[in-house]
Amino acid sequence: MWKLLRQTGCVGIVTEPPPGSDEALRIADSLQLQIKSIIGRALCIRQIDAGSCNGCELEIHALNNPVYNIEGLGIKFVASPRHADLLLVTGPVSRSMEVALRRTYEATPDPKLVVAIGDCGCTGGIFGENYASTGRVANVIPVNVAVPGCPPSPSRILAGILTAISSPRAITSVSDN
């Protein structure tokens, strides 16, 4: 126990400040964002691998490490779409995951946001569309923000998430109250 505490103490707090949101990443704005701002800052994310090479997942995992410390920002990954505000979807969507992705989207309560991750999620990437791949995420479910990169770095992914939830209009509506 002593060693464990010493190790924890020696490392200390390593969390870095988060990146700002990036308007360049936005694809479509949503009225639902205003409702989002009423829910508050705590945000629940359900991640779905719809056919990725697993590279994007590695960088999404990194968001949970102490350096990015996404939970410290009030964002957490949840196990069920029913508890989620936002879906983080990777991959070209494989045809075998198409139904599962649609069902997950339907099971997510409104208002819901979708962030597509990686070149594959944005465009289908190197895999494109074929008998087994339906290509980009937006071919299957509506997407709010798309983050390119192969894989995008954790800070780009985080910027994408923050872009999705921080619509300028939503913020205005809060101060109007």
Partner 1 sequence: MDQLTYWIEQAKPMPGAPGVCQLEVSVETWQQLARDIAADGGRLLALWVDCEPAMTVRVAFLTKSIVLVLALAVAESSAGYPGLADSFPAAARMQRAAADLCGVRADDFDTRPWLRHAAWPTRYFPLAPERQAFEKTEAVSDEYRFVRVTGDGVHEIPVGPVHAGIIEPGHFRFSIVGEKILKLEERLGYVHKGIEQRFTQMQLLVGHRLAARISGDSAVAYSWAYCQALEGMAQVVIPPRAAWLRALALECERIANHLGDLGALGNDAGLSFGLAQFSRLKELWLRAGEAAFAQRYLLDFIVPGGTGMDPSVNGLSGLVTCAGMVGATASEIRTIYDEHAGVRDRFTGAGIVTPELAARLGLTGLAGRASGQSFDLRVDLPCEPYTSLSVTKVWRSNGDVAARVEVRFDELSESLRLVEQIVQQLPDGHHLVDVAAPAAGTMGTGIIEGWRGAVFIALTAAKDGLIGRCHPHDPSWQNWPVLEHAVIGNIVPDFPLINKSFNLSYSGHDL
> Which entry of partner 1, ligand SF4, none binds 100, CB below 5 to 8 A by partner kind?
partner 1
Could you give the string, one character per residue 61-100, with x where binding to ligand SF4 holds by CB under 6 A and - elsewhere? -----------------------------xx---------
Distance CA 177, CA 37 (A): 11
Among the candidate windows 20-28, 52-60, 93-101, 160-168, which touches ligand SF4 by CB under 6 A?
A: 52-60
Tell me: does residue 120 bind ligand SF4 (CB under 6 A): yes
Binding residues for partner 1, rule: CB under 8 A, are 3-4, 7-8, 11, 14, 47-62, 64-68, 77, 79-80, 91-92, 94-100, 102, 104, 125-128, 130-133, 150-151, 153
Tell me: does residue 153 bind ligand SF4 (CB under 6 A): no
Closest of 171, 156, 96 to residue 122, by C-alpha = 156
What stretches of the chain show up as alpha helix (H) in DSSP?
2-11, 32-39, 55-62, 95-107, 118-123, 154-165, 168-176
Among the candidate windows 13-21, 22-30, 74-82, 116-124, which touches ligand SF4 by CB under 6 A?
A: 116-124
Closest of 49, 61, 17 to residue 159, by C-alpha = 17
> Which entry of ligand SF4, partner 1, none binds 42, CB below 5 to 8 A by partner kind?
none
Tell me: does residue 53 bind ligand SF4 (CB under 6 A): yes
Tell me: does residue 132 bind ligand SF4 (CB under 6 A): no
- On whether the CB atoms of residues 47 and 76 are closer than 8 A, the answer is no
What backbone phi and psi angles, to 5 degrees, belong to 86? -140, 135
Distance CA 105, CA 79 (A): 14
Q: Output the CA torsion sign for 104, 106, 111, 117.
A: positive
